[in-house]
Amino acid sequence: MSTAKIQHPNGLMTLFFSEMWERFCYYGMRTLLTLYLVKSLMKGDSDAALIYGAYTGLVYAAPILGGRMADQYLGYRFAVILGAILMAIGEFTILLGTEHTLLIGMGALIVGNGYFKANISTIVGKLYEDGDPRRDSGFTIFYIGINVGALMATTIVAYVGEVYGFKYGFGLAGIGMLLGFLIFYAGRNNYAAADGLEITEAGKKVLFGPINVATAITLGSLFLIPVCYFLITQNSWLDYILLGLFIYIGVSMVQAGAKADRENQVKIWKDRMIALIIFMVINITFWACFEQAGTSLTLFADRNVNREILGWTMPASMTQFFNPFFIIVFGSIFSVMWVKLSEKGKNPSIPMKFSLGILQLGLGFLITLVGLQFVNESAQVPLLTLVFLYLLHTTGELFLSPIGLSMVTKLSPQNIAGTAMGAWFLSFAIANYVGGKIASLTGGHGGGGEAASAMAGLESYTETFKMIGFVLIAIAILIALLNKPLKKLMHGVE
């Protein structure tokens, strides 16, 4: 085999480093957000959690729109550049240090992420021909870049932000975004072979004067920033918006499946769409609890975890680094494990993988009860409590996350593949929003900013984590019991 055959396309490493620095920016801001809201802006835990949930929910919803705009009008390259610039502006706006500038900055980050995140992955896919055996390997390399960026953010940005001041952490995240933008722009010739990079003919259509459709969309994107500001502050609106979208897309998918059955004279697509909706609900359950990492678990680490290591105290936000660290350590091991199990005919079905993922997530929360047995006089559990909690959360993630996107493409009729993928992203948006709702119920810090006693706070956190853990284990058992009916609905999809 020639060297050219085993090498990846030139553009892959340009996209790897662009995405790595964008994730450094996003996770850097997210890592500090809850502590910044509580400690600098003096928000109560509940308010901070709801703001965090609305923000991260909108971040995951935005790529649905960003991907559509790029497909139809903007082209992938311009969309990514627009997203990078908006994210950098958002990060530096936060440095002004008021609640209003934080919310404006968050709005710019949401819109920018919608353009960047949706389309850089698409460019990676476009570097490979259909059926190219290097494609899966290319995406695996790209996925490593995401986690390297997240690991750097949850160590470097977290440390700088908490030790030297939040504004320095946010500034560092903004510099990371500028680096991502410069790498993407400077290396544009490397990925020039990808299809769909240029602004489309529909995007070039002149509306009036010098304004074409692409320019109008760019300017319109700026008006989405105050919309995001409004939805974060009035986050109860998202209850109705997200639920309405979920019902609408769910009904649309079942109707499209029934139509595909009639056209092909089979009875599989409607069932598969029903299965996909069930998996979306399971996905929401998993990530709503997993995303406690940025809210209740970070505040728990700040108040009730002994983070001292040989005389050095780890910043609370830095405890979030365990997840990307374990992903990098175990990711390749798991990918090999699934191949080996398949060869032996022992690879768990998709429903069983989801069940086992949720089981491990639940057990992770119950680790806090073990930590209670070793509590010190300051009402703090050992740091190892969080190490083992995040270890189980990460192995649970590896059972569930990597198969999700692949499963969506297999379960969906070709003519609604894009809608189904949008629905899958919507499930993450709902999960993050619900995660904020769950976090608002936890902890020992009231809305008035008065801390409960350290021991009462510890009991409040562990009681909530215990409840979450047991509920997740019950859901895991229920999914395992429904394994056969779910597999029947999937009609042979593995």
Q: What is the mean pLDDT of residues 113-134?
A: 85
Q: Enter the tokens of residue 344.
A: 């032996």
Q: Is 86's pLDDT higher than 90?
A: yes
**Residue 444: which pLDDT band, with cuts at 50, 70 and 90?**
low
The strand pair at 211-212 and 206-208 is best described as antiparallel
Q: Which residues contact 163 (CB under 8 A, 6 or more apart)?
A: 315
CA torsion angle 90 154 382 329 (round to 10): 150
> Tokens 């597999």 map to which residue?
487
Q: Is 93's pLDDT higher than 60?
A: yes
Q: pLDDT for 156-207, tens place per residue?
A: 999 999 999 999 999 999 999 999 999 999 999 999 988 889 999 999 999 8
Structure confidence at residue 2 (pLDDT): 39
Is residue 43 within 8 A of residue 440, CB to CB? The reply is no
Q: What is the mean pLDDT of residues 72-88?
A: 95
The answer to whether the Cα torsion of 221, 224, 229, 231 is positive or negative is: negative
Domain 9-235 part of CATH 3.30.460.80: no
Is residue 429 within 8 A of residue 249, CB to CB? The reply is no
The strand pair at 305-306 and 381-382 is best described as parallel
The strand pair at 211-212 and 305-306 is best described as unpaired
Q: pLDDT for 98-123, tens place per residue?
A: 999 999 999 999 999 999 988 998 88
Q: Is 96's pLDDT higher than 60?
A: yes
Q: Which residues contact 254 (CB under 8 A, 6 or more apart)?
A: 270, 273, 274, 277
Is residue 40 within 8 A of residue 165, CB to CB? The reply is no
Structure confidence at residue 68 (pLDDT): 86
Q: Enter the tokens of residue 171.
A: 């500034």
Structure confidence at residue 419 (pLDDT): 80
Taking the C-alpha atoms of residue 444 and residue 329, their distance in angstroms, rounded to an integer, is: 34
| Domain edges within the chain | 9-235, 237-494
Q: What is the DSSP string of 68-107?
A: HHIIIII-HHHHHHHHHHHHHHHHHHHTT-SHHHHHHHHH
Q: Is 10's pLDDT higher than 90?
A: no
Is residue 493 within 8 A of residue 272, CB to CB? The reply is yes
Q: Is 324's pLDDT higher than 90?
A: yes
Cα distances (angstroms) measured from residue 196 to each of 11, 139, 193, 205, 219: 15, 19, 9, 17, 22
Whether the model pTM is above 0.75: yes
What share of the chain in percent tops pLDDT 70? 97
**Residue 133: which pLDDT band, with cuts at 50, 70 and 90?**
confident
Is residue 395 within 8 A of residue 359, CB to CB? The reply is no
Taking the C-alpha atoms of residue 201 and residue 352, their distance in angstroms, rounded to an integer, is: 46
Structure confidence at residue 136 (pLDDT): 72
Q: What is the mean pLDDT of residues 288-304?
A: 95
| Phi, psi at 212, each rounded to 5° | -105, 180
Taking the C-alpha atoms of residue 149 and residue 22, their distance in angstroms, rounded to an integer, is: 7
Look at the domain 237-494 and name its fold. Growth Hormone; Chain: A; (1.20.1250)
Taking the C-alpha atoms of residue 32 and residue 250, their distance in angstroms, rounded to an integer, is: 35
Average pLDDT of every residue of the chain: 91
- Among 43-57, 351-365, 405-419, name the one with the lowest average pLDDT: 405-419
Q: Which amino acid is at 29?
A: M
Q: Is 445's pLDDT higher than 70?
A: no
Structure confidence at residue 80 (pLDDT): 95
* Fold matches, 9-235 and 237-494: yes
Structure confidence at residue 4 (pLDDT): 42
Map residue 313 onto helix, strand or coil.
Answer: strand
Q: Is 447's pLDDT higher than 50?
A: no
Q: pLDDT for 202-258, tens place per residue?
A: 999 998 888 999 999 999 999 999 999 999 999 999 999 999 999 998 999 999 899
Taking the C-alpha atoms of residue 212 and residue 1, their distance in angstroms, rounded to an integer, is: 48
Q: Is 451's pLDDT higher than 60?
A: no
Structure confidence at residue 118 (pLDDT): 82
Q: Is 397's pLDDT higher than 90?
A: yes
Choose among 331, 14, 293, 27: nearest CA to 149.
27
Q: What is the mean pLDDT of residues 314-338?
A: 91
The answer to whether the Cα torsion of 408, 409, 412, 416 is positive or negative is: positive
Map residue 308 onto helix, strand or coil.
Answer: strand
